[in-house]
Amino acid sequence: MKSKILIFLVLGVAVNAQINRFFYEYTFIPDSHNKEEVKKEMMLLDIDKNGSSYYSHDKFVADSTGRAELEKQLKSGGGNISINRREKPGQVSYKVTKQYPEMTTFLYRSISMDKYKIKEDKRQEWKILPDQQKIGEYNAQKATTSFGGRDWTAWFTTDIPFQDGPYVFSGLPGLIVMIEDSTGSHRMTVVGNKAVKALDSEQDLQLPENVKVLGIGGKEIEVTKDQFKKAWKAYVNDPTKNMREMMMKNGGDTPSKVVFKVKTADGKEISDPNQVFREMEKRTKDQLQKDNNPIEPDLVN
């Protein structure tokens, strides 16, 4: 009888596995020349016994909705596929995962149509200081480190027994509840937490060979930081290279022909490939000029 009860309890734990979800308010200044423009994003840090995942709430919702729409269109067998831009697509596109107990850390980022999985090969070297203060409801202690081209000040609490934190940060004797760089450009602060049910991991959506959608489907390319920096430099120098190659690969009068359309600032729709690429290259370079204050400068400079 005892063995039956034990089996039942073990199964109950497995079925009702939960995630410890921490909500971080991320405030950041994208443009170092316009420090008055401060943006905010709600980030989620999901922790379970196997590791953690840090990502944007809005991007997660937008991606899930877009994925469902695309899957529905693919199942319907229609000839045309249309992906509408989400109302709140999320401002932060990257994701970070950590695997316990080794704390193997990966940063997931996209460049144009390609997705990359970048292994973090250096752990932060922390200096723990005696300073203490209250961060929200938590008793926290100060620590400092240099990472990614920035100097950081963190506040961690031993009230929460997870040696983890937002983005790639970890390794302190408790959860990092607030961290900010020395310029005040990037700050992540815990604003809440709750337990949520663990969901089955999503299987990769299998797209037809003639369909490629940014951020949906496909495998990540695992690279080192140096390899990612090389790919990023190539993208900055030629932002539309991947799309031009895709059009050439799928060119001609075939059912799989790729068609790009964009609207100019005055609302005019253009579809001529050369004009489209010129417009997209201009937009990308303008955006890169305004987004010049990344969280990890060493990764893109």
- Can you give the residue ranges of every domain in the chain? 16-224
Residues in CB range of 31: below 8 A, 6 or more apart:
37, 290, 291, 292, 293
What CATH number labels 16-224? 2.50.20
The b/e string for 197-233 (b: 16+ C-beta within 10 A; e otherwise) is: eeeeeeeeeebeeeebeebbbbeeeebebeebbebbe
Q: Which residue has the tokens 């240099």?
A: 146
What is the number of other CB atoms lying within 10 angstroms of the CB of residue 172?
Answer: 23
Smallest CA-to-CA distance from 176 within 45, 39, 28, 17 is with 45
The answer to whether 260 touches 278, Cβ cutoff 8 Å, is no
The answer to whether 107 touches 118, Cβ cutoff 8 Å, is yes
Q: Tell me whether residue 295 is exposed, middle or buried, using C-beta atoms within 10 angstroms of its C-beta: 0 to 12, 13 to 18, 19 or more.
A: buried
Cα distances (Å, whole numbers) of residue 275 to 74, 136, 234, 260, 279: 30, 52, 21, 10, 6
Smallest CA-to-CA distance from 232 within 114, 119, 96, 59 is with 114
User: pLDDT tens digits, the chain, 301 residues: what are they?
Assistant: 333 333 333 333 344 578 999 999 999 999 999 999 999 999 999 999 999 999 999 888 876 655 555 566 556 665 555 555 555 567 999 999 999 999 999 999 999 888 999 999 888 999 999 999 999 999 999 999 999 999 999 999 999 989 999 999 999 999 999 999 999 999 999 999 999 987 654 444 455 555 555 445 557 899 999 999 999 999 998 887 777 776 666 554 444 455 556 666 666 676 666 777 777 778 888 888 889 999 999 999 8
The answer to whether 213 touches 62, Cβ cutoff 8 Å, is no
SS3 23: strand
CA distance 290 to 265: 17
CA distance 142 to 156: 7
CA distance 41 to 192: 14
CA distance 288 to 237: 11
189 is written with which tokens? 């602060």
pTM of the model: 0.78
Q: How far is CA 29 from the centre of its chain?
A: 17
